[in-house]
Amino acid sequence: GENVEQHPSTLSVQEGDSAVIKCTYSDSASNYFPWYKQELGKRPQLIIDIRSNVGEKKDQRIAVTLNKTAKHFSLHITETQPEDSAVYFCAASRYGGSQGNLIFGKGTKLSVKP
Amino acid sequence: DSGVTQTPKHLITATGQRVTLRCSPRSGDLSVYWYQQSLDQGLQFLIQYYNGEERAKGNILERFSAQQFPDLHSELNLSSLELGDSALYFCASSAMTGGSTGELFFGEGSRLTVL
């Protein structure tokens, strides 16, 4: 089955700096890669996702890149703000099939210092 | 508010006991997912149901079982509880047809403490 590795487990940056979180996946058939943000004591929420037919996707200060050959994808947050502090999870699955077993990485705790 | 409702929010029980966690998906969503979140294991996929049928199974223990009812709500049953089962259990639903993956909408979770 799919296995998703995520690094780093913790990340501390100064406000205004950029943050990068990296993930690798094992199943070459995976083609859907979402990122979820979980604030302290709250539920995970989707912030951005990418399918394997594109290499990069941006949404304001957030971008995700995908390298299918190397089987890794990354989340980039620019101009970080204190409200970006949270745990971020990457995930992978096969989109378009009949199963939705979305497999998550173990998470990255991002701290943005004012 | 995601529209996914989970009950109970908190549950404290003893080892060896059995509990049932309940989830109501967003209106119209046919897929329900269960995840276990513990401190060092992130979000562990347990099981997925689509329109009453089991579609995918993750690392779900034999002591755990789930089902999805005709009204689409789902229950996760945990039996012979052990200390290590203490965790936050999330239910999520998806609007994707056919059981495929799409955006998951998570409930607030049920926090289980086994003493």
A71-102 per-position pLDDT tens digit: 999 999 999 999 999 999 999 988 766 666 88
Averaged confidence pLDDT in chain A: 93
User: CA B106 to CA B91: how far, in whole Å?
Assistant: 6
Yes or no, beta carbons of A100 and B31 under 8 Å apart = yes
Residue B67's pLDDT is what? 97
Smallest CA-to-CA distance from B67 within B53, B81, B87 is with B53
Task: State mean pLDDT over B8-20.
Answer: 98
Q: Which residue stretches of B43-102 are H helix?
A: none
Find the range with the poorest average confidence among A77-86, B86-95, B98-107: B98-107
In three-state secondary structure terms, B45 is: strand
Is the CB of A44 less than 8 angstroms away from the CB of B56?
no
Question: Which residues of chain B have a CB within 8 Å of the CB of A2?
Answer: none
DSSP tag of A9: S
pLDDT at position B71 over 70: yes
Confidence band, pLDDT 50/70/90 cuts, at residue B1: confident
* Average confidence score pLDDT of chain B: 93
pLDDT of residue A97: 65
Rg (CA), chain A: 14
